Amino acid sequence: MDNVWSRPAKPSRQTLTLDRIVEEALALLDEEGVTRLTMRRLAERLNTGSTTLYWHVKTKDDVLDLALDAIFREVRLPTPLPPAAPNPPGNRPLDDRPREDVPAETRPKGGPVGSGPVGVGPVDGGWQAQVRGLMRGWRAALLRHPWSATILDRPLMGPNALERTEFLYETLTTAGFPAPKAAAFSLSNYVMGSVIMQVTLQDREEGDTGAFLSERADRYPALAEHGLDHEWDATFDEGLGYLLAGMEQARKK
Amino acid sequence: MDNVWSRPAKPSRQTLTLDRIVEEALALLDEEGVTRLTMRRLAERLNTGSTTLYWHVKTKDDVLDLALDAIFREVRLPTPLPPAAPNPPGNRPLDDRPREDVPAETRPKGGPVGSGPVGVGPVDGGWQAQVRGLMRGWRAALLRHPWSATILDRPLMGPNALERTEFLYETLTTAGFPAPKAAAFSLSNYVMGSVIMQVTLQDREEGDTGAFLSERADRYPALAEHGLDHEWDATFDEGLGYLLAGMEQARKK
DNA sequence: CACCCACTAGACCATCGATCCGGTAACCCG
DNA sequence: CGGGTTACCGGATCGATGGTCTAGTGGGTG
């Protein structure tokens, strides 16, 4: 494996840092989307040449990996893990202060997204509530940066993502799952899939897919009847409920 | 919305057809992966110029959309729907003869993939078995073409994909779900997410991510202990079981 | 004061998706 | 039968991209 996380970070002396690059990449992605992120444009925003970026970063994919992991920093853990060894630059794991100042709505273009349950704070009341809180926050963070959906096909091996996955494993183990692998896997799959599907479907103009399906109502009657314009938040919660209920059932045995 | 499916198909007179383009694109993707699919290379394999392709297709994304939908043709429906109106060229919905001749293992590079439950034939025994069969076949088809994982962030609006989604809706409705939207949504999410995650994680060399996590066992003890090298098929089935159990529980009420 | 190393950047390369523009062969209509 | 329209093909080319080569520059250290 060869990615940003496994390579040792080169020390920086000042001026342009990895942190600034990632920060600006995030801004660029949020404002213009993933297709408009080019090394030249990113360099321009940083008042430097594109070549310079390659001193701090090996490939463009590194930038994307770093930006993607930075998203996970916004996901607050119900009960934070004790901090451990220092981290590579540009990816300190979870700010000291809660990121409550991050606006819940930073969607550049389309309609409201993730307008419902945003990453919640500490939660008590059983493992289901904890997991639900984490998954909601996870989803909300990704939806706040819709470009992430295009990028979720790469390994989530950054410190921030790993820390949250670790927390998920711990929670499930504590809850009594002897082998939490399948459970954690299912939950991650569900969140990723739902984000991708939602972004995909609502990125086109509203009602467009509806019209598309209505024209083909003869061939796809059930689809045309129910439509694809979900109430996203409620639907997500409902499906998550199915998953959690099934897990609880298996846990009791 | 502007994609291949909504534009009227131009009639072809012979020689190079959309079907041949899609067929060759599929072969190219299977052999060399998504990054090596370029219009020039595709044209070369078809003994033509890259420009010619643009007469049959508007953009490269069209080729990808068509190829992705072609995958779904391999997913056999437990009980086929009655055929309806004619379809746009290059995407006849489901061959007449079952595609049993498609090799279950067409993986170009890495280790075995989707080696377990392949798309099964007709299934009786309740809605759960039907849905499970459909989802297994869905997953197996995508895993047979790992490049699809990179592309799943685009709308699945092709006739083959729609037909299968329609079938899912019908099955759920028949099973007694008054509003099958959330259920169908959850199932699709789960399959897509699991495919993406599996392809992502096993595309790197085996054990590599394991070593990566082992080195950081102090910070991520639970992750390092359970590892990420899943027994993919079993894990998928287990998670699917959770989902189905939760859905059944909600259905009974 | 000399040197070195972190850091910057202009020019450049191969390649890509897509288009311009000039063809050619089959078919339709008078 | 013959002129023209339509369906189709492709070489050359455009603008943009990711990434490298090479030549610097400036501050800190010995």
Q: Are A175 and A127 in contact (CB under 8 A)?
A: yes
B56 touches strand D (CB under 7 A): yes
- Mutate which of A189, A229, A252 to disrupt the B interface (most B C-beta within 10 Å)? A189
> Is the pLDDT reported for residue A29 higher than 70?
yes
Q: Are B239 and B193 in contact (CB under 8 A)?
A: no
Q: Between residues A56 and B87, which one has the greater pLDDT?
A: A56
**pLDDT score at A4:** 55
DSSP A141-189: HHHHSGGGGGGTTS---SHHHHHHHHHHHHHHHHHT-S-THHHHHHHHH
Joined together, the tokens standing for residue B182 give 């959330």
- Integer Cα distance of B96 and B172 in angstroms: 25
> Is the pLDDT reported for residue A240 higher than 90?
yes
**pLDDT score at A77:** 84
**pLDDT score at B236:** 95
**pLDDT score at A206:** 59
Asked which of A14-28, A36-50, A121-135, A153-167 is least confident by mean pLDDT, the reply is: A121-135
- Integer Cα distance of A64 and B88 in angstroms: 37
Sign of the dihedral through C-alpha A117, A119, A121, A125: positive
**pLDDT score at B183:** 93
**pLDDT score at A244:** 95
Confidence band, pLDDT 50/70/90 cuts, at residue B205: low
Q: Between residues B61 and A226, which one has the greater pLDDT?
A: B61
Instruction: Please list every residue in chain A whose beta carbon sits closer than 8 Å to the beta carbon of residue B180.
Output: 222, 226
Helix (H) or strand (E) holding A70: helix A60-72
> Is the pLDDT reported for residue B114 higher than 60?
no
Mean pLDDT of B11-33: 82
Q: Write out residues 172-201 of A within 8 Å (CB-CB) of B.
A: 173, 179-183, 185-186, 188-194, 196-197, 199-201
Mean pLDDT of B20-33: 94
> Is the pLDDT reported for residue B163 higher than 70?
yes
End-to-end Cα, chain A, rounded Å: 39
Mean pLDDT of B106-128: 48
- Integer Cα distance of B34 and B185 in angstroms: 27
> Is the pLDDT reported for residue A112 higher than 70?
no
A17 CB near a chain B CB, below 8 Å? Answer: no
**pLDDT score at A96:** 35
**pLDDT score at B177:** 87
Q: Between residues B89 and B215, which one has the greater pLDDT?
A: B215
**pLDDT score at B103:** 38
Q: Write out residues 203-232 of A within 8 Å (CB-CB) of B.
A: 204-205, 208-209, 212, 216, 218-223, 226, 230
* Cα of B137 vs its chain's centroid, Å: 9
Dihedral through CA A186, CA A188, CA A191, CA A195, nearest 10? -120
**pLDDT score at B34:** 95
Q: Between residues A147 and A229, which one has the greater pLDDT?
A: A147
Confidence band, pLDDT 50/70/90 cuts, at residue A205: low
- CA-CA distances (angstroms) from residue B94 to B9, B70, B73, B121, B164? 19, 9, 5, 14, 10
Tell me what the pLDDT averaged over chain A comes to. Answer: 79
Q: Between residues A104 and A175, which one has the greater pLDDT?
A: A175
CA of A51 to C1' of D12 (A): 31
For B147, name the nearest residue in chain A, comparing CA atoms only.
A153
Tell me what the pLDDT averaged over chain B comes to. Answer: 79
Instruction: Please list every residue in chain B whose beta carbon sits closer than 8 Å to the beta carbon of residue A162.
Output: 216, 219-220, 223
Q: Shortest Cα distance from A90 to chain B (angstroms)?
A: 18
- Integer Cα distance of A161 and A138 in angstroms: 10
Asked which of A87-96, A239-248, B59-68 is least confident by mean pLDDT, the reply is: A87-96
Q: Between residues A86 and A75, which one has the greater pLDDT?
A: A75
> Is the pLDDT reported for residue B2 higher than 70?
no
DSSP chain B: --STTTSPPPP--SSS-HHHHHHHHHHHHHHH-GGG--HHHHHHHTTS-HHHHHHH-SSHHHHHHHHHHHHHTTS--SSPPPP-S---TT--SS-SS--TTS-S---SSSS--S-S-PPP----SHHHHHHHHHHHHHHHHHHHSGGGGGGTTS---SHHHHHHHHHHHHHHHHHT-S-THHHHHHHHHHHHHHHHHHHHHHHSPTTHHHHHHHHTTTT-HHHHHH-S---HHHHHHHHHHHHHHHHHHHHH-
Answer yes or no: do B209 and A247 touch at CB < 8 A.
Answer: no
Q: Between residues A52 and B111, which one has the greater pLDDT?
A: A52
- Integer Cα distance of A4 and A157 in angstroms: 9
pLDDT, tens digit, 9 for 90 and up, residues B71-107: 999 999 876 444 333 444 444 443 333 333 333 333 3
Q: Shortest Cα distance from B204 to chain A (angstroms)?
A: 6
Q: How many CB atoms lie within 10 A of CB B11?
A: 6
Q: Are B253 and A241 in contact (CB under 8 A)?
A: no
- Mutate which of B150, B165, B186, B226 to disrupt the A interface (most A C-beta within 10 Å)? B186
Asked which of A177-191, B6-20, B124-138, B186-200 is least confident by mean pLDDT, the reply is: B6-20
Mean pLDDT of B23-38: 95
> Is the pLDDT reported for residue B187 higher than 70?
yes
**pLDDT score at A3:** 56
pLDDT, tens digit, 9 for 90 and up, residues A211-227: 888 888 889 998 888 87
